[in-house]
Amino acid sequence: VEGMLQSLDRLQQTNQELQKTLASIERLARTDSLTGAWNRRRLEEAVINEMDRLKRYDHPLSLLLITIDGFKDLNTGQGHAAGDQLLAELATVVQAHLRATDALARWSDEQFVVLCPNTTQSTAAVLAEQLREKVAWAVFTPVKTATVSIGVAECCTGETWEQWFNRADAALFRARVAGRNQVQRAPEAAQR
C-alpha cells in the first residue's frame, strides 16, 4: 500500500509539472516574446469574440493602430538591438496607460494594435491622444525620445475584420503623411 501511495504522489507531482509546462507553452504561443504584448494570433481570436459581441449586443468596439515614427531609421542606424529595446520599452509605456478592458498586441515590426471593447471612436481617439502624449514625454534607453502615429477606427455593424483594420490603417497612413506624431480618425464605413 505504501508503494502505491508513493507512486500516486509521484504521478500527482508529474501531473502538476506537466500542467505548469502546458500553461507556459500556451502563454508563449499567445504572447510576443520581445514585448510581452499579445501576438497576432491572440489578437485575432479576441477580435472575433469582440465582433460577435458587437453583433449580439450592439456594444461599440474600436481599435488603435500604432506605429513608431522613424523606427526603420533607428534599426538601420543603431542596429536591431536598439530597435528591440525601443519596442519593449514602448510596449511597457503603452501598457501602463491602457484601461483594464483594453488589450495591447504587437502587429508587425514596429506596429501595435490596441483593442478597445465597449469604446466609441471618439473615446478611443481621446485614449490615442493620451498614449501619443505619454510616449512623446517618455525617456527611452536607445533613443531618449520617440513619437508614434496612431490611426483610430470603430467597427461598424456588418463590417469584416479586414475592412475595419484597413480603415484604421488608412487613418494611420494619413497621420504619417501629415507629419507623424499625431492621431487620425478613420471615416465611417459605407453603410450596407
> Could you list the active site residues?
110
Strand pairing of 103-106 and 148-154? unpaired
Cβ distance 85 to 146 under 8 Å? no
Direct distance between the N- and C-terminal alpha carbons of the chain, in angstroms, rounded to an integer: 71
Q: CA nearest 153: which of 173, 135, 133?
A: 173
- If one counts every other C-beta atom within 10 angstroms of the C-beta of residue 139, the result is 10
Cβ distance 98 to 42 under 8 Å? no
